[in-house]
Amino acid sequence: MAKIAIVGVGAIGGVLAGILETSQAHALTLCTRRALYALTVDTPEGAVSVQFRNATDPAQTEPVDWILCATKTYDAVSAAKWFPALTGPETRLAVIQNGVEHRENFSGLFPPERILPVVIDVPAERRSETQILQRADAFLRVESSPPGSDFASLFAHTRAKLDLTDDFLSAAWAKLCINSAGVISALTLKPAGILRDEALGEVALGLIAECVAVGRAEGAHLDDGTGERILAGYRAGSPDSINSLLADRLSNRRTEIEARNGVIIRRGEKHGIPTPLNRMAVALFNGMAT
């Protein structure tokens, strides 16, 4: 049995808690700002009631085997306040966030040799403080390494799909390509079905093409069919699915626009690659938020 602490119990953190609960093999601590008395994850296979210990203060915790950090990318410093009390000599930190800067976000906040970046692909929404909707099975990618294998073993006997990859860079950029098109929902304030519109589908392909170009310059292997596959995936999915960028905007919360589309612009500038569609999307997004 592993001792696991989840820092950041939003849609993704909640889904992870629900998946780990189904293994019935771990002791879960959910680290939250406010008291959390229950957590239910509605999955395609039925509702999962998570059994957990809740901590609202680091002083209420003790060292664990794994810290799973599923906070927003801009919350790294806040999340790190939990680390000293949760960390023992062998504790590892799995960073499960959007973007391509998993390790950079926690530079100086945790021993770098014990950080494991993780990419997750799962349509999920937080319906309330205590209820998460998981629309499909979760697919996670981690580095093919001893820590990666240990992380994968946490999810044994669950429905989560784990891929150990020798090319995590490409996996992270492939996920960013998916997220880049999600800005269209956030700009139009409409769920994923909006990408079934032909004109907006063309815009999505353009946003993704810029991400592919920058990702390739960074060393990622992304083929020419990436955009069409992603758009097809959006169109085949639930039309009322809400991505986290849209959810945050609807709730007037701070967003991860800089970690999603902003990073494409920043890395593009480094390589001299123009990213006009992503640049316009970020400008419009930020303009609407003011």
Of the candidates 255, 260, 283, 284, the one whose C-alpha atom is nearest the C-alpha of residue 211 is 260
* 175 is annotated as an active-site residue: yes
**78, 254 in Cβ contact below 8 A?**
no
Straight-line distance from the first to the last Cα atom of the chain, in angstroms, rounded to the nearest whole number: 48
The CA distance from 132 to 106, in Å, is: 27
For 19, 54, 55, 247, the CA distances from 131, given in Å and listed in that order, are 14, 15, 18, 15
Catalytic residue of the set 81, 175, 190, 270: 175
108-120: b (≥16 Cβ within 10 Å) or e: ebbeeeebbbbbb
Of the candidates 76, 1, 70, the one whose C-alpha atom is nearest the C-alpha of residue 31 is 70
Residues marked active site are found at 175
